[in-house]
Each structure stands twice: as structure tokens, then as C-alpha cells.
Structure 1
Amino acid sequence: MIKITLIAAFLFSINIIAQNNTGSEFSVMFYNVENLFDCDNDSLTLDDEFTYEGDKHWSYGRYKHKLNQISKVILNVNKWNTPAIIGLCEIENKKVLSQLIYETGLNNIGYKYIHYNSPDKRGIDVALLYQKNQFTPLISYPIYLSDSTLHFYTRDALYVKGIANNNDTLHIIVNHWPSKRGGEKASEQKRLRVAKIIKSHTDSIKAVNIDSKIILIGDFNAELTSTSLQYLLEDNSFYSLLNPDEIKFQAIGGSHKYQGHWSLIDHILISSSLTRNSSVNLTHKIGHLNWLLEDDISYSGIKPKRTYSGPRYLKGASDHLPVILSIQYKKDGEQTLPINP
């Protein structure tokens, strides 16, 4: 009995030492949750297929299963450190956000949400979840990206300024850029137009304070080499810590897989002020929990297990994988790993 007690005390002391030698962590996650619709028919949007009578035979049971899967992702993707901030896209409304954070395993975490309706024809929007004990929002508003004169309608972006628990002021912009519908090259001009509006917004933030800490998160529907993303990256204002060339030959070669091809289209881009910050270590990863994946029978390898394949219900969480940025604040005197954007 004494031996067991001593071993337990020893393990406890190791745990305390490990905690004391580790600076506080603030993590940011983004997740395209693929058509998180409730079951109600909204007469103002094209959501008919995700209703009881719709082509997909959407039901309350399937909806609740999807909510629970998304909550499991959030609870497990970053081990014991649930993300302080989570950007979501393809959510229908405030109702699904409320039920996600209050009626699943997330109900004891202390998440709140920020959401505005956007002019997307299907009624899908972006949103931000945040842990109220780790992040305090100060300002939030939608960034309007549509242009009625050009008959161009897309999801708004979401801007949130707030204070992290270490007193850093963070500027977060959640994105869901136009899809590749109609072909990648033909649709790239739409994404470039959006990129210019986002860049104008970040320039305005930097005009007030050149060292502003800005984090752009979202499904950009574009890889880092695309014209639209290069517009954001070309002057070294923003960086991605994920190198597509280093992951494309791995089993998980990106955040999304289409017709056998992995691509990294879900991004967390950080301003240069964060990479220059000597008091933090930054790590960036794709969250690939085993149960989020399935065998890719058609093209070999594995792929994200989505909710539907056409009309066929697959019970998966999403056709995208989440991406996570961890900001590890070092203690006084602790060495920081070099960052080479």
C-alpha cells in the first residue's frame, strides 16, 4: 500500500513538473462541418433537401448524430486542450450553434457563439465559438463580400476582435470563400475578388497598429499556391505553418479529398507579428482522428468520412478535416523554437 502511494505521489509530482514547465496554450481551430442543417424548412433559403421531406430524408436522429460527432471532434482533436476559438462554416443558423454547445458533450466547456446571417442562397454561414474563460470578444461584425450589381452572392466573412486570456488582442476573420463550382480556373476570379476585400480589411487593422495580431481561418477553397491566396501571402503579411509539399505524400495529404486527390484548402493564416513574437511557440496540424476517416474504395488510401455521398447516408461527420493552431506561451527565461515561415 505504501509502495502504491509512493508511486502515485511520484507520478503526481512528475505531472506537476510537466505542467509547470509548460507555458499556457491557446489554440485556434477551424472546421468545415459540411451542411450542418436543422430539420426545419426555411422558406427564405434553398434548404429543402435537408428537411424531413427532402431528397436526403434528413431527420432529427441524423441531425443529433451529426451534432454529437462534431462535439466529439472538438473534445478530442487537441487532446486535453479544447480549442479556445473555433471557426465553423456550413452552419445554417443560431439554432444549430446553440444545440451544438448546449445539448452535446460541449455543454460543460463554457462555449459561446458569434453568428450573423449572410446572403448565401442555401442559407449556410460562418460562425465563431469561443471559450468565455479564454477569450473575451470586444467587437464583431460580418464582412460583406457579395455584390448585387454583379449578381454575385457568397457567404459573408466574420470579423471578431477580442482579448485572449494572456491579454493579447487578437483579430480573427472566419472565411468560407466561393467554391470551385464551374471549374477551378473559372471560379478563381471570384476568390480573388474576395481576397482583395479581406486584404483591404486587414490593411485597415494594420493601419491602426502595424503589429496587430491577425488570424485568418476558413475554408478558402484554394491551395496556398493559388492566385487568390498568394495575394494575401505575397508581401509576407501572412504565413501558413503547414507546408503542402511536406504532407501531400502522406496518408493524410490535406484537409479535403476529392476524386482521389488530397488538397489543403482549409487554412489558418497568421500575421507576421505572431511569427516574430519571441514569447510563443506555434504549431499547426491537421486533425485526423481515426474515426473521421474511411477507406477510399474508388481511388485507394483513406478519405474523410462524410455525412452523405449523393443521397446515400454514410453517418460521417464531414468531408473536411479540422485544422488547429496552437499558441504555446513560454515562461520567463524559456527558450522559444525558431520559426521559419
Structure 2
Amino acid sequence: MANKFYFRKKNTNHYTVAFYNLENLFDTKDDPKTLDNDFLPDSEKRWNRKRYEKKIVKLGTAISNIGFSKTRKAPALIGVAEAENKKVLEDLVDSKHLKQKEYGIVHYNSPDERGIDVALLYQKQYFEVTNSETISVMIHDDEGVRDYTRDILWVTGILNKEEIHVLINHWPSRRTGVEDTGYKRIVAAQKNREVIDQITDQDPEAKIIIMGDFNDDPFSESVKKHLVQNDLFNPMEKLHTRYRGSTSYRSQWNLFDQIIFSYNFHRYEKEKHSFSDAGIFDKDFLKIYKGRYKGTPFRTYSGKKYTGGYSDHFPVYVRVKHNG
């Protein structure tokens, strides 16, 4: 018992920063401004209140456990993608496994045609928001027609008395093919670099975290060449293998969900945060437990078929240590 107590005490200065694609967290009401018709009670998917509430509880369960085994607390910061609006996020943070954590929400409606947004959830006892804004990602096709994708969410705040900048992303999908859509994700990467350069021009020592569903892997051109330069470190490079990732498609693992940060997180400074470790939160309860897709994310829908799971993505996380 004494050893167990010591283990818990030893890790209280560690904090988890996570990212989770929530897989179509839609409410059951029709929004005439977006393409949300697949997620209505009378749609082919039969998305109803009972299914919605079940998903909210499941997502809350998953989030509350990310990093808990070592830090003994839920994530201090968690970026999310594929949330329809602020109300679904309010329901999420008010769910039974998260309610006592008192999460705040930073959310803006994005121009995405389906109405899915990114957001930041933060535990108010550890993080104070000082500024937030959205950065548009302007993408056009060969004919000059704009592709309306998700904005970048830029949040600045104080984590345990240290200023941190967080950029939350959900880059354009690969739906029409990797090569056909690759240029879109390069544009998104370059826009992140513009913001990073803007931040470091003002403060060369700024602590920056870039996270999101990039729809590209750590070694894809968009991430490796256009985003991660000498000032950034991507711990996800070592996590992606043939047998492991954050999402699976046609028996192939991808690590689209990533958390990247400025190199100064490797520096030990008193009253500052330093990088401890990174991981994919792929516990067994988040996986399909039998059949052809055993071991892959236990998703809410498989095509039009309701399966009642969590998400088609696993969360990813980094742990930082506050050097008191």
C-alpha cells in the first residue's frame, strides 16, 4: 500500500495533453446551414437521442482515462475534432465521467460544409485562456473554387503559470485520393508555419503545441517537410508502425492524429514544463474485440450500420512535467 501511495504522489507534477477525433459528434437536430442530414432520426443511420447520449458517455469515459494511469488525473488540455457545435461539447464535458473535472471549452463554428469543428477542452484548475482566435485555411482547386475546410484554432493560455500556445487542426481528408488531395494538406501545414513564425517573431522562446487530425502520417510530405522544421519535435514519428496507429483503413494503420511541439519542451527549466513521453491511447476497451477488424478502433458506425462504439480514431497524447 505504501508503494502504491508513493507512485501516485510521485506523478502529481505530470500533466496530459491529448487530441481526439470524436467521429461525427452530431446532435439530433437539423441545421439548415450544414450537411448534417446523415445524423438525424429519420436518416438512413437512424441517429437518435439514445444513440447520441450513449456516445457522449462513451467519449467521456475515454477522455477521463487518457494518461490517468501515470498522472492520476484526466487531461489538462484536450483538442478535439468532428464536433458539430458548442452544445455537443457542453453535453460532453457535463457527462458523468467529466462533470467533476470542470472543463472549459474554446470553440468557434468553422466554414466546413458538414459543420464539423475543432475545439479545445481544458481543466480550469490548470489552464487559463488568455486569447483565442481562428485562422482560415484558404484552399482553391484548379478552377479557383474554394474548398471550405476547418479553420485552425489558436489558443493562448497559462498552464500552471507558464504561457503556452496551442494550435488545433483538422486537415482536409483523403476522400478523393491521397495524391489528388495532398496539396490541400500542404497548404494547411504552411498556414501553421505562418502562425508559428508569427508567434516566435514576438517571442523567440514561446512554447508551442500543434495537434490535430492531419489526415497524413508523421513522414508524409505535408508534416515532415512543410510543418516540422528544426524548431519542432514530433514524438509521433517513433510511434507509427505497421502494427499500430490511431486509425485503420483497409488493414493499414495510419497515425493521422499527432501532437507536435516546440523543441524548448526538451529543456529543463524551473517553473516550466518539459516533455516526458508520448503515446497512442489504444486500450482494449476502445478496440473491436473480435472478427475481421479485431484490434482496430471500436467506432460508432461501420458505413450505415450502427455499431455503438466510441470513435474510428484512438486518442493520442503527450505528458509534460511541471518542474517545480
Say whether the fold is shared (TM-score over 0.5). Answer: yes
Q: In terms of mean alpha carbon deviation, does 288-297 or 85-94 score higher?
A: 288-297
Q: In terms of mean alpha carbon deviation, does 75-84 or 34-43 score higher?
A: 75-84
Is 1:156–2:151 an aligned residue pair?
A: yes
Q: Quote how far apart the aligned CAs of 1:107 are.
A: 1.0
Is 1:174–2:168 an aligned residue pair?
A: yes
Candidates 24, 38, 46, aligned match of 2:13? 24
**Which residue matches 1:57?**
46
Candidates 111, 119, 126, aligned match of 1:119? 111
Contact 2:106 2:121 in 1 (8 A): yes
CA distance in 2, matches of 1:122, 1:289: 30
Candidates 261, 265, 268, aligned match of 1:274? 265
CA distance in 2, matches of 1:136, 1:214: 15
CA distance in 2, matches of 1:113, 1:73: 18
Candidates 235, 251, 254, aligned match of 1:260? 251
Kindly provide the amino acid, as one letter, of the partner of residue 248 in structure 1. T
CA distance in 1, matches of 2:310, 2:166: 25
**Within-5 A mapping of 1:167-246:** 167-244=161-238
Aligned-partner SS, 1:202: helix
Contact 1:40 1:51 in 2 (8 A): yes
- Closer/same/farther in 2, CA of residues 305 and 23 from structure 1, 3 Å limit: closer
- Closer/same/farther in 2, CA of residues 65 and 209 from structure 1, 3 Å limit: same
Aligned-partner SS, 1:63: helix
Aligned-partner SS, 2:276: strand
Q: In terms of mean alpha carbon deviation, does 76-85 or 184-193 score higher?
A: 76-85
CA distance in 2, matches of 1:290, 1:220: 24
Q: Deviations over 1:274-294 (max 9, x none)?
A: 123456342100001211101
**Which residue matches 2:55?**
66
Q: Between Structure 1 and Structure 2, how many residues are aligned?
A: 315
**Within-5 A mapping of 1:97-108:** 97-108=89-100
Q: Quote how far apart the aligned CAs of 1:147 are.
A: 4.7
Contact 1:77 1:289 in 2 (8 A): no
CA distance in 2, matches of 1:296, 1:26: 34
How many percent of aligned residue pairs carry the same amino acid?
36
- Closer/same/farther in 2, CA of residues 213 and 302 from structure 1, 3 Å limit: same
Candidates 284, 291, 306, aligned match of 2:285? 291
Q: Work out which of the two has the higher radius of gyration on C-alpha atoms and give 1 or 2.
A: 1
CA distance in 2, matches of 1:201, 1:77: 28
Q: Quote how far apart the aligned CAs of 1:329 are.
A: 2.5
Candidates 75, 79, 82, aligned match of 1:90? 82
- Closer/same/farther in 2, CA of residues 117 and 90 from structure 1, 3 Å limit: same
CA distance in 2, matches of 1:182, 1:72: 33
Contact 1:23 1:328 in 2 (8 A): no
Contact 2:219 2:237 in 1 (8 A): no
Aligned-partner SS, 2:235: coil
Contact 2:167 2:209 in 1 (8 A): yes
Q: Quote how far apart the aligned CAs of 1:104 are.
A: 3.1
CA distance in 1, matches of 2:5, 2:302: 47
Kindly provide the amino acid, as one letter, of the partner of residue 217 in structure 1. M
Q: Quote how far apart the aligned CAs of 1:131 are.
A: 0.4
Mind listing any 5+ residue stretches in structure 2 that lack a counterpart?
none
Aligned-partner SS, 1:56: coil
Q: In terms of mean alpha carbon deviation, does 192-201 or 34-43 score higher?
A: 192-201
- Closer/same/farther in 2, CA of residues 131 and 56 from structure 1, 3 Å limit: same
CA distance in 1, matches of 2:7, 2:122: 26
Is 1:43–2:32 an aligned residue pair?
A: yes
Q: Quote how far apart the aligned CAs of 1:206 are.
A: 0.4
Q: Quote how far apart the aligned CAs of 1:20 are.
A: 5.2
- Closer/same/farther in 2, CA of residues 20 and 39 from structure 1, 3 Å limit: closer
Mind listing any 5+ residue stretches in structure 1 that lack a counterpart?
1-10, 332-341
User: Structure 2-normalised TM-score?
Assistant: 0.92
User: Structure 1-normalised TM-score?
Assistant: 0.87
Contact 1:118 1:124 in 2 (8 A): yes
